[in-house]
Amino acid sequence: MQIKRQNLGWPVDDSLMRVYVAEPEPAGRYPGIVFYSDIYQLGRPITLLCDRLAGYGYVVVAPEIFHRLEPIGTVIEPNDLGRLRGNDDARRTEVAEYDADARSLLEWLQAHGAIAPDKIGAMGFCIGGHLALRAALQPEVKATVSCYPTGVHSGKLGRGVADTLERFKEITGPVLTVFGSLDPHVPAAGREQILAAFDQAKVSHQSLLYEANHTFMRDDGYRFDPAATDAAWAEIIGFFRQELG
């Protein structure tokens, strides 16, 4: 399916949040997806993932997650210095600020004429996988895909300690998690803790585990695994189609 793209901006807490929007070209009403990047924000590896999802028939909205700290349009380079910068931005952002961004995005999707308002999902990678689970705490989110989410098992997200695990009982839609067995940031014990918390909260969930490293779905790094990526995408699209249409 052909898609169209645009950059939008709207204020959240007196900060202008840039949002990358990718949506199907043919007129119609489609499910909407709040899409969260990793700590490097909206570089082309991430917007390509947005475009790919949009091509399957979804309106995808991806915010600059550090818009309160970085100038509009900032792409953080995925190198040693960029990693330091992105992690510093992450720790200096309040958890409540991430949640405010989610509310703003969900309200925009509900008001968008091309969105079926009862078919909204969330998806994210790395810190974005954690943010997707935070978005899933909102009742509007009917299905969530969380790819190698960092900080969920440890409570590490922004300033203070994130209560995401403790609030899993607020998730009303099904969740699909995607992990790499070689991921040092979400080790086996962390994965088991997350999945056990879903069970305890009685959240409908399924999980995929690939013999891959962290960020294996990002195509610009040495950890990229195209075979695992293609396999994961097939499962992700199947999940969203089942839950959102």
Q: What is the pLDDT of residues 6-49, one digit of tens each?
A: 999 989 999 999 999 999 999 999 999 999 999 999 999 999 99
Residue whose C-alpha is closest to residue 95's, from 26, 146, 167, 185: 167
Q: Note the pTM of the prediction, 2 decimals.
A: 0.97
pLDDT at 112: 86
Whether the CB-CB separation of 39 and 151 falls below 8 Å is answered with no
Going from N- to C-terminal start, the domains of the chain cover 3-244
Between CA 244 and CA 240 the distance in angstroms is 5
Whether the CB-CB separation of 174 and 205 falls below 8 Å is answered with yes
pLDDT at 178: 98
Res. 116: pLDDT tops 90: no
- Given CA atoms 47, 48, 49, 52 in this order, what sign does their dihedral have? positive
Whether the CB-CB separation of 206 and 242 falls below 8 Å is answered with no
The CB-based long-range contact list for 88-94 (8 Å cut-off, 24+ gap) reads 89/39, 90/39, 90/66, 90/127, 90/157, 90/158, 91/158, 91/159, 92/158, 92/159, 93/65, 93/66, 93/68, 93/69, 93/158, 93/159, 94/158, 94/159, 94/160
Task: Give the DSSP per-residue string, 11-27.
Answer: EETTEEEEEEEEEESSS
Cα angle for residues 119, 120, 126 (degrees, 5° grid):
145
Please report which helix (H) or strand (E) contains residue 209, including its range.
Answer: strand 205-210
Between CA 116 and CA 31 the distance in angstroms is 6
Q: What is the pLDDT of residues 120-171, one digit of tens each?
A: 999 999 999 999 999 999 999 999 999 999 999 999 999 989 999 999 999 9
To which CATH superfamily is domain 3-244 assigned?
Answer: Alpha/Beta hydrolase fold, catalytic domain (3.40.50.1820)
